[in-house]
Amino acid sequence: MGRDKALLEVGGEPLWRRQIRILQAAGAEEIRLALRPGQAPYDPAVPVVADTVADAGPLAGIQAALQSQSEGWLLVLAVDLPRIGASWFAPLKAACRPGAGAVFRNQDGFEPLAAIYPAEALGEAAARLQRRQYRLQEFVAALVEAGRIAVLPLPAADRWQAENWNEASAVSPADPGPSA
């Protein structure tokens, strides 16, 4: 995109702040932003975790966040998914079990950047980073195979929420999606 997506604004609110608000509304108790090594925090009051592996993509952020907790679940919401609201996480939370999180799957694959991961996913994330296997679809597939994540079908009526803002042409500040 050529710029920091987290700083794009929707309704006058930067995406990073919006996603924090959505996660809080979804019931997240602790919020941390995963940042690239050396990336400056957006707000000193918001705790951050730094990717431990540079240039490894979102898996490095997931691993860093999992590493910063010792138990429970990690709600993940990528900054470039501004149409997802807190209600997205309700069926995922209902599908979680001890040691197992949940993820939606649509016709194109898993939705790994708006999912719930168990703390037990840390070992798989760390092993994949060490092997330089950064693809999230494969990471989630391994968790499914290990019984660490439940897969829910994404209803066709909800697929619009998973459209990301990876290109400037997708950005629509007037279309923020759900507010919470």
Burial of 142 (0-12, 13-18, 19+ CB in 10 A): middle
Tell me what percent of the residues of the chain surpass a pLDDT of 70: 91
Considering the domain 5-170 in this protein, what is its CATH number?
Answer: 3.90.550.10
Average pLDDT over residues 155-171: 77
SS3 content of the chain, % helix, strand, coil (to 5): 35, 20, 45
pLDDT category, 38, cuts 50, 70, 90?
confident
Domains in the chain: boundaries = 5-170
Average pLDDT over residues 25-37: 92
HSE-up (13 A, CA, CB side) for residue 111: 31
CA 102 to chain CA mean position, Å: 12
Both tokens assigned to 119:
């703390």
Residue 3 and residue 101: Cα distance in Å, rounded?
A: 32
- To the nearest 10 degrees (0 to 180), the angle between helices 58-67 and 122-130 is 130
Contact partners, residue 69, CB within 8 Å, separation at least 6:
30, 119
H runs (alpha helix) in 11-73: 15-25, 58-67
Contact partners, residue 171, CB within 8 Å, separation at least 6:
8, 165
Helix (H, G, I), strand (E, B) or coil at 103: strand
Question: Residues 63-85: pLDDT tens digits?
Answer: 999 999 878 999 999 999 999 99
pLDDT category, 167, cuts 50, 70, 90?
low
